[in-house]
Amino acid sequence: MSVLDIDRIGQVAIWRITRPQALNALNADVLDALHAAVDAASRDHELRAVVLTGEGKAFVAGADIAAMKDMTPAQAEAFAAKGQDLGARFEKLGVPIIAAVNGFALGGGCELAMSCDIVLAGPKAKFGQPEVNLGVIPGFGGTQRLVRRVGLTRAMDLCMSGRFVNADEAVTMGLAARKVEGDVVEEALALARTIAEKGPVAVRYVKRAIHENADADLDTGLAAERSLFALCFATADQKEGMGAFLDKRAAAFTGN
């Protein structure tokens, strides 16, 4: 049975994790399916954005506890590496990935959302790093990406208490970009379509400039930004975008 539904609506893909009976918990099959989806997306030159969500009442309620219970330390390290590698590949993919958090995003699910470029929180979203309840720590980037998103003070609180935060609190602390009152998947698709209308190379360079330099000192980050800004001027899309503005017409970007 498939654990990941992939649909394509125009230039936007929707990846929906489909293990609702286990609240979409991440086991090796789900991780493999997501790796395969990234493989396919990186070869798809017409793709402009991805929406990631979960079926049922969860986005992802964490790594699969039943699958992890009897792991040896070596197996646990390999499992964490497979998850961490997926997060790194999300950040390197040339198109944005939008997490449409429809429900529980806990443990590995919160970490999966934080590996996405934009996080939208639906009215029932619940975020948390409850690993300490299980006698373990986050292993899919939680102790690292959470600090970068919400700061050390709040990351300590969430990772040590295991408490859940709702959409409002997640937005306030910077874990989610926005709360969506209605259907979070529809809103994420609308956002994906908006991004799909922009210059694809520019969107790719924005993603690269931010991710590759989030931990750099300011001078290094500004130098990288300058280089990518200059590279935009080697594209037909830059001529088209600026020409269209001056001609007072809509730009027709080609991604070249």
Q: Which of residues 86-115 bind ligand CO8 (CB under 6 A)?
A: 104, 106-108
55 is catalytic: no
- The distance of closest approach from Cβ of residue 221 to ligand CO8 in the complex, given in angstroms and rounded to an integer, is 29
Q: Residue 14: name the closest of 43, 51, 45 by CA.
A: 51
Compute the distance between CA of residue 113 and CA of residue 43 in angstroms, rounded to an integer: 23
131 is catalytic: yes
Q: Which among 132-140, 153-161, 192-200, 245-253 is the span making contact with ligand CO8, rule CB under 6 A?
A: 132-140
Q: Which tokens belong to 180?
A: 């969506």
Tell me if 62 contacts ligand CO8 by CB under 6 A.
yes
Q: Residue 3: name the closest of 60, 44, 48 by CA.
A: 60
Residue 97 φ then ψ, to 5°:
-115, 125
Residue 100 φ then ψ, to 5°:
-100, 95
Name which position in 59, 79, 90, 205 contacts ligand CO8 (CB under 6 A).
79
- CB burial of residue 7 (10 Å; 0-12, 13-18, 19+): exposed
Q: Closer to ligand CO8 by CB, 52 or 228: give it.
A: 52
Q: Closer to ligand CO8 by CB, 141 or 199: give it.
A: 141
Q: Of residues 131, 181, 186, 187, which has the active-site annotation? A: 131
Interaction mask 1-40, ligand CO8, x per CB under 6 A: ---------------------xx-xx----x---------
